[in-house]
């Protein structure tokens, strides 16, 4: 066996497909089902082993790929499962109503088609723009609005902007009132909407270093020094760090995936989560004016947040001693696309871990906290999403989503339009919108028999048992079926949820648990009948619990682009299956409510949202007493 063969043989069953495997899988599919010149690959990714079974040992199992491929001429999409070792297609199934995601390559195809369209060129001329090469057309997913010319087609919706030079920030120059609908399968402009020549704002609003003419001089260097190297070790895709162990995965749709998160407790490895990833997101906009009413983007399901991952660079995106993982996705022609340095792994100081000063002995104990950071950043057109998973020494797991990039802008066509945003530059409106994320957490708290409970803090009424009216207490309610587990956060009752294992007890006899703290559980401001209300049902609840199923991956449905109503979580949970004392998947919706500020323009500093998973009775005591004092001579801590 050659070295490459040996390396493939020893690959772990959860390792993402390599570039060679992507190419191999595409060739197997093309060899047996050549769809002709209109053949495009949506997804070529690892078909992961079942979450409901133990993992096969490395190298022992047949690696399989999931493929979603479509024919732009017939419009039909097929799903295949491919055995890589046997070079065999194990299943082949048409999904006739499914519309594949919009691929990055298709963004540029759509833009070229619009810029070459005589109706679009004429509309530009009406605005005094004679050079279409200065115009950029952003392709948006188009949703489902029932216009007769769109029915049955795979379409995108284009918004136009002007660049004064190739590096100019186009979002300072929205070409308001000019939009195009493109059939992306046929590369045909169906319609050009022009509501009239609204003046294009001319002021340059640039942020790039090439435009900056002076720099502040009061910033002294901060260096991160790790003289003995980092505390983590990486073996293939397995990461070990300070009592944590997990595997790194990646898919074109979700980006980073964390597998088999375990924590060490007195020499015993205890599972916490089987699989964690961002599963969906939607960005609804609030303006009803003209074409803006169509704006709602599912950046995960409609574009593929993994596909849009960018390469990270040391000293800019991440500081310290870094380990990078490359990521592999597929192009629409079935070739492999390697994204170098897609995932950053590093550790950070995280302030104090705990402290106490004993005023009787004059003795102080302080320990420093640190966290392991596993992150990637995706660029979705104008905007950046950074996804930062943190593991802490005390067993806490956190996801922080960092939102940055350029807010989406529009021109101001009327006074009525002003109500739906903030004027961030003369004639430029930053439109009101939300970012709603949904994470899929396949839980395994000390094993796979878990029950989710809701914890509310109740203020007790006055009475004989509460003579001084001071009584309040936590009340815990098990969520035993799917419908009962459709829940929302409550600031009134300071609500959180616990994922407990009733079969595993701590030193005081309580079921061990992790609690989910929903600190970014915003109210979705989507009205009944709107696109997000119909197609992003996951956003209606902050918590959903389902029995873990391998085929229930996507909370807004398998194919979200121009999807049907009610797919995913709303439909699955109608079955109202039992979810107590079984293998459960927890889905959490959280987000950022974004009323733009002038300070968000021309580029927005990081805003953040996310959630925290924290051990709650999982350990018998603070698990960090053995963290040594960190100063060189220990003097700051004694």
Would you say 75 or 591 has its CB closer to Ni ion? 591
End-to-end CA distance of the chain: 59
Residue 297 in contact with residue 283, Cβ under 8 Å?
yes
Task: Compute the least distance from the CB of residue 421 to Ni ion, in Å.
Answer: 11
DSSP strands (E only) in 359-510: 363-380, 383-392, 397-405, 409-411, 421-425, 428-431, 433-443, 451-459, 472-479, 496-505
CB neighbours of 245 closer than 8 A, spacing ≥ 6? 238, 239, 260, 261, 262, 263, 264, 269
3-state secondary structure 113-164: HHHCCHHHHHHHHHCCCCCHHHEEEEEEECCCCCCHHHCCCCEEEEEEEECC
Would you say 29 or 281 has its CB closer to Ni ion? 281
- For the purposes of burial, counting CB atoms within 10 Å of the CB of 131, is it exposed (0-12), middle (13-18) or buried (19 or more)? exposed
Residue with smallest beta-carbon separation from Ni ion? 594
Would you say 12 or 594 has its CB closer to Ni ion? 594
Task: Compute the least distance from the CB of residue 304 to Ni ion, in Å.
Answer: 19
Instruction: Give the C-alpha separation, 258 to 389, whole Å.
Output: 9
Would you say 348 or 423 has its CB closer to Ni ion? 423
Alpha-helical segments (H) within 387-500? 415-418
Task: Show contacts of 233-239: CB within 8 Å, 24+ apart.
Answer: 234/323, 234/345, 236/11, 236/12, 236/15, 237/12, 237/14, 237/15, 237/16, 237/325, 238/12, 239/345, 239/372, 239/374
Would you say 157 or 594 has its CB closer to Ni ion? 594
Active site residues: 299, 383
Question: What is the CA 183 to chain-centroid distance, rounded?
Answer: 27
Question: What is the CA 468 to chain-centroid distance, rounded?
Answer: 48
What are residue 300's phi and psi, to 5 degrees? -85, -55
Task: Compute the least distance from the CB of residue 300 to Ni ion, in Å.
Answer: 16
Would you say 286 or 537 has its CB closer to Ni ion? 286
With CA atoms as reference, report the closest residue to 239 among 255, 223, 219, 262: 262
What tokens does 477 get?
């309610």
Task: Compute the least distance from the CB of residue 609 to Ni ion, in Å.
Answer: 10
Task: Compute the least distance from the CB of residue 604 to Ni ion, in Å.
Answer: 7
Question: What is the CA 119 to chain-centroid distance, rounded?
Answer: 37
Instruction: Give the C-alpha separation, 195 to 430, whole Å.
Output: 20
Task: Compute the least distance from the CB of residue 297 to Ni ion, in Å.
Answer: 11
Instruction: Give the C-alpha separation, 127 to 88, whole Å.
Output: 56
Task: Compute the least distance from the CB of residue 407 to Ni ion, in Å.
Answer: 6
Per-residue buried b or exposed e for 473-501, using 16+ beta carbons within 10 Å of the residue's own CB: eeeeebbbbbebbbbebeeeeebbbbbbb
With CA atoms as reference, report the closest residue to 404 among 310, 325, 328: 310
Instruction: Give the C-alpha separation, 507 to 53, whole Å.
Output: 30
Would you say 151 or 595 has its CB closer to Ni ion? 595
- Residues facing residue 372 across a β-bridge: 347, 391
Would you say 171 or 572 has its CB closer to Ni ion? 171
Residues in touch with Ni ion (CB under 5 A): 594
Task: Compute the least distance from the CB of residue 207 to Ni ion, in Å.
Answer: 16
Would you say 30 or 597 has its CB closer to Ni ion? 597
Task: Compute the least distance from the CB of residue 607 to Ni ion, in Å.
Answer: 7
Task: Compute the least distance from the CB of residue 212 to Ni ion, in Å.
Answer: 24
Longest dimension (CA), the chain: 84
- Residues facing residue 246 across a β-bridge: 239
Instruction: Give the C-alpha separation, 209 to 194, whole Å.
Output: 35
Would you say 119 or 402 has its CB closer to Ni ion? 402
- Tell me the C-alpha to C-alpha distance, in Å, between residue 377 and each of 271, 302, 508: 27, 17, 42
Would you say 252 or 430 has its CB closer to Ni ion? 430
What tokens does 78 get?
């097929």
What tokens does 369 get?
């906290």
């Amino acid at each position: 066996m050659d070295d490459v063969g040996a390396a493939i043989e020893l690959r772990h069953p959860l390792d993402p497909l390599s570039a060679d495997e992507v190419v191999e899988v595409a060739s197997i599919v093309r060899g047996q089902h050549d769809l002709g010149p209109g053949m495009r690959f949506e997804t070529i990714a690892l078909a992961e082993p079942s979450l409901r079974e133990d993992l096969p040992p490395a190298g022992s199992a047949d690696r399989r790929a999931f493929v979603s491929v479509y024919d732009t001429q017939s419009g039909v999409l097929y799903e295949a499962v491919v055995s890589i070792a046997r070079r065999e297609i194990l299943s082949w199934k048409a999904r006739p109503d499914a519309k594949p995601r919009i691929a990055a390559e298709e963004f540029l195809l759509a833009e070229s088609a619009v810029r070459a369209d005589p109706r679009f060129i004429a509309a530009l001329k009406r605005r005094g723009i004679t050079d279409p090469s200065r115009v950029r057309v952003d392709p948006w997913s188009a949703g489902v609005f029932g216009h007769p010319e769109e029915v049955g087609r795979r379409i995108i919706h284009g918004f136009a902007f002007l660049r004064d030079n190739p590096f100019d920030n186009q979002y300072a120059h929205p070409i308001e009132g000019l939009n195009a609908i493109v059939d992306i399968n046929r590369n045909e402009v169906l319609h050009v909407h022009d509501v009239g020549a609204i003046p294009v704002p001319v002021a340059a609003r640039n942020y790039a270093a090439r435009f900056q003419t002076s720099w502040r001089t009061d910033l002294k260097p901060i260096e991160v020094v790790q003289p003995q190297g980092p505390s983590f070790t990486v073996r293939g895709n397995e990461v070990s760090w300070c009592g944590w162990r997990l595997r790194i995965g990646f898919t074109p749709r979700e980006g980073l995936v964390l597998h088999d998160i375990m924590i060490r407790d007195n020499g015993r490895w205890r599972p916490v989560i089987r699989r964690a990833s961002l599963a969906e997101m939607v960005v609804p906009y609030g303006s009803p004016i003209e074409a803006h009413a169509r704006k709602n983007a599912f950046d995960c399901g409609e574009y593929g947040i993994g596909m849009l991952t960018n390469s990270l660079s040391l000293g800019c995106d991440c500081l310290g001693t870094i380990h990078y993982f490359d990521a592999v996705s597929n192009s629409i022609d079935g070739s492999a696309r390697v994204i170098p340095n897609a995932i950053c792994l590093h550790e950070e100081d995280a302030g104090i871990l705990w402290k106490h000063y004993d005023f009787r002995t004059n003795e102080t104990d302080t320990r420093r906290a640190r966290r392991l950071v596993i992150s990637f950043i995706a660029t979705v057109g104008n905007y950046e999403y950074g996804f930062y998973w943190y593991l802490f020494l005390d067993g806490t797991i956190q996801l922080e989503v960092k939102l940055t990039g350029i807010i989406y802008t529009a021109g101001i066509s009327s006074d009525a339009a002003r109500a739906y945003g903030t004027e961030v530059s003369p004639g430029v409106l930053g439109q009101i919108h939300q970012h709603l994320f949904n994470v899929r957490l396949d839980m395994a708290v000390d094993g796979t028999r878990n029950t989710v409970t809701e914890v509310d803090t109740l203020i007790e009424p006055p009475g004989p048992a509460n003579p001084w009216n001071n009584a309040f207490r936590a009340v815990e309610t098990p969520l035993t079926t799917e419908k009962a587990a459709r829940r929302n956060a409550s600031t009134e009752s300071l609500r959180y949820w616990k994922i407990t294992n009733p079969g595993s007890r701590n030193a005081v006899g309580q079921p061990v648990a992790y609690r989910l703290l929903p600190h970014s559980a915003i109210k979705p401001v989507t009205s009944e009948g709107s696109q997000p209300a119909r197609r992003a049902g996951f956003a209606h609840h902050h918590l959903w619990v389902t029995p873990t199923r391998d085929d229930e991956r996507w909370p807004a449905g398998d194919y979200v682009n121009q999807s049907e109503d009610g797919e995913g979580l709303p439909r699955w949970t109608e079955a109202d299956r039992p979810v107590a004392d079984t293998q459960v998947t927890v889905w959490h919706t959280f987000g950022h409510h974004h009323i733009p500020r002038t300070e968000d323009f021309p580029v927005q500093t990081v805003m953040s949202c996310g959630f925290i998973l924290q051990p709650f009775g999982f350990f018998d005591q603070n698990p960090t007493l053995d963290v040594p004092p960190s100063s060189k001579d220990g003097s700051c801590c004694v």
